[in-house]
Structure 1
Amino acid sequence: MTYSLKTQSLLLLLVAFFPFRAHAQEISIKSNLPSWFTATTNIGFEYAFGENISMELSAGINPFTKGDERRMEHWVVWPEVRYWMSDNFDGSFFGVHGVGGRYDIGGVKMPFNTLKGLRDNRYRGGAVGFGFSYGYKWFFSDSWAIEATAGFGFVRFSYDLYSLGKDSSKTGEDKKEYAGPSKAAISIVYTIR
């Protein structure tokens, strides 16, 4: 019996994490609150597999369009390995994260006149990158917490450029590299102990 490369990789990751089960095993479920303001449904899971190490996987999706002119369709994932300065899931942490996703965005006016091209064009493509982050978690009960995290990194965008409207046509394609903020979240967190 043969397995696909994706299946083999997933099985390898699952097996790799089982030996690290510790007596202080914890799992957190979280959601990034500011993402909901852009109609981006999101969820994250974090698993502690050492005294100061955890792994988080967060994802978000926005499948909505507003007519032929405006759209912010996208999906994104952020895997991250975190080193906690004290115990897992408590206080400060440093992380190394990846970011990847697909998008179809256009006809949108961005705050502070950033990304001016989004107002008059539509971008369809993908992004992949990595970065470093810092965050802090505040517990306000035994299981509930607020977590803030910000990251800086490098992302490569590849996209096709389209005109706006019902009969939009491809007008070009390009690739761009970006260095700057690559992760930002203020999350409500529920921890299963």
Structure 2
Amino acid sequence: MRLKIRFLHTCFTLAVAALPLGAMAQAVEKPRIQTSALPEETAVYNPSAKKNVAQAKKNVAQTKEKPAKEQGKARASEKRKKDKKTVSVSDRRYMALKTNIAYDAIGVLNLDYEVQVHSRMTVDIPVMWSLWDAKPDKALRVAAIQPELRWWMGQETGKGHFFGLHAHVGWYNLKWDDRRYQDTGRPLAGAGLSYGYKLPLSEHWGAEFTVGFGYANMKYDTYYNIDNGAQIDTRIRHYWGPTKVGASLVYRF
């Protein structure tokens, strides 16, 4: 009986001593396996691993896609700006502002605007004026306009050879030696044909040379060229000859 009691006591003592050891064994952390895989890729051991891995990949793809779209938009915007800057002057509609130096040299100031109206056609509108006397016995006071329709022969409008059809209207008062000639109120009027050549000097600047021949009708009074000079007669003249001479400095917009 005593042996049986001792055996039971021994078994109980061993069982009590084994309890702390079991608790310690449970508290020991499972060893971690070292790997180069991403955490979301090692989540296959988790029951919801497949869902988490798919969501993680989706997030990574969206993160990469957004900067790519932004970079694409930025490149497209830069390309549009570059294309606008690289458009040359010759690709734009031809417009130019000019002055005829040949007329400026004799005291007839002028300003000329030309604009493209067709692939090879332009309209040229020069305005001329002179409101002072060069000398007491020699002077030309004039206000005139001479619009012209031009046809350009080259592939590029505003460059090279051209032919023109022009008209002219003007009011004048001419002093020359002992005579003075003044319009009667009816302006000089006529038309003519011209030929010219435009020489580019730079992207915006150029030189233009032109000469024209045609007809002009004039009705004028003749006076003695003195203060309050008496009227001599009134005449009507039909003029044929040069109607246009030009050596112009051109600025192209």
TM-score (norm 2): 0.60
- Distance in 2 (CA, whole Å) between partners of 1:98 and 1:61 is 17
Higher helix share: 2
**Secondary structure of 1:88's aligned partner:** coil
Which residue does the alignment assign to 2:111? 43
Matched residue, 1:92? 161
SS in 2 for 1:65: coil
Alignment RMSD, CA only?
1.4
Match of residue 19 from structure 1: none
Tell me, yes or no, if the aligned pair for 1:68 and 1:164 is still in contact at 8 Å. Answer: no
Q: Which residue of 2 aligns with 1:7?
A: none
* One-letter amino acid of the counterpart of residue 83, structure 1: W
Residue 164 of structure 1 corresponds to 225
Cα displacement (A) at 1:26: 2.0
TM-score normalised by length of structure 1: 0.78
Higher relative contact order (CA 8 A, sep 6+): 1
Name the counterpart of 2:208: 147
Distance 1:71 1:134 in 2: 29
> How many corresponding residue pairs?
159
CA deviation map 1:91-126 (0-9, x unaligned): 00011000110110113xxxxxxxxxxx22100013
Residue 123 (1) aligns with residue 184 (2): no
AA in 2 matched with 1:29: L
Give the partner amino acid of 2:238.
E
SS in 1 for 2:102: helix
Q: Which one has the largest radius of gyration?
A: 2
CA contact (8 A) 2:102 2:245 kept: no
Preserved contact between residue 32 and residue 42 of structure 1 (Cα < 8 Å)? yes
Q: Which runs of 4+ in 1 moved over 2 A?
A: 65-71
Q: SS at the partner of 1:190?
A: strand
